[in-house]
Amino acid sequence: MNRLWPYSTRLFDWLEERWESPRGQRLIADLLVLSFLGGILVIEANRWRVLPPSLAQNLPTNHFYAVDFTLKLLLITELAGLIFGLAHSVANSVGKQFEILSLILLRETFKGFKTFDEPITWNQVEPALFPMLTDAAGALLIFVAIGFYYRVQRHQPITGDAQARASFIAAKKLIALGLLVAFALIGAHALEQFIRFGRETAFFEACYTVLIFADVLLVLLSLRYASTYAVVFRNSGFAIATVLIRLALIAPPPINALLGVGAALFALGLTIAYNSLAVTMQGEPPAPSTRPPLPRTAVQD
């Protein structure tokens, strides 16, 4: 494994540099705008019956499908951000998972509009109003919870040995590359199913299932560098938070929102407890809680 780390680290750093660069972010934003406008144009063309029948039968006629499609692309870009953030901070990558969950809940709110005729009538909206409101409220509460979650983070390295920290980060970058390949394969399968059969697959559910295994792998890997009870408990708790997120993705409203909010509060409580008790358990002097935030490229936890 140690022989793979220099190659995987260089590949990871190369990909991250291009993804996080201003040019890369502008390109992503431009593609999202073009996908939204292009989706509306294609749907409008289908409504006017100017598309070939073989193509038209697999395309929607409701304009809100364009919103749903673009939000899905946005979520995919957020998944990529989660992968690149994993190498810098396990805690922040968990926060990114909750960010994605909150956006998924907002997307679920928009998805309700796909079943409505145009123009929308109240008789159609009324039965779907409660699930839409619970999804939106859940997204808002998760947004607030992760705001406090990021605020209480201290990003204490799991080991004081610089060489061990470098080794741990190299291992996380290798795991992140594995996640990138796994998500790409899941996405390719989802695209193939949509093109061939016109049906959607559980893409994000599959991605979060993979994340559960990645979190467990990180728990086991961290034992090489820090076997203290507090660190093991924190990382295992983060894996449980991912499991709760995965359950929220398959639960119906309002249970999905309740599970998502509960998972966010669990991660927040876990972080507060770790910050308060870990230094006592490890017998180390407490780190100051008001230090300035570290830059994104800094080694954290």
Would you list the domain boundaries of the chain?
5-282
On the question of pLDDT at 284 being above 50, the answer is no
Q: What is the dihedral of CA 206, 211, 217, 221, to 10 degrees?
A: 160
Whole-model pTM? 0.87
Q: What percent of the chain clears pLDDT 70, i.e. is strictly above it?
A: 91
Per-residue pLDDT tens over the stretch 40-74: 999 999 999 898 887 888 788 889 899 989 999 99
Per-residue pLDDT tens over the stretch 121-155: 888 888 889 999 999 999 999 999 999 999 999 88
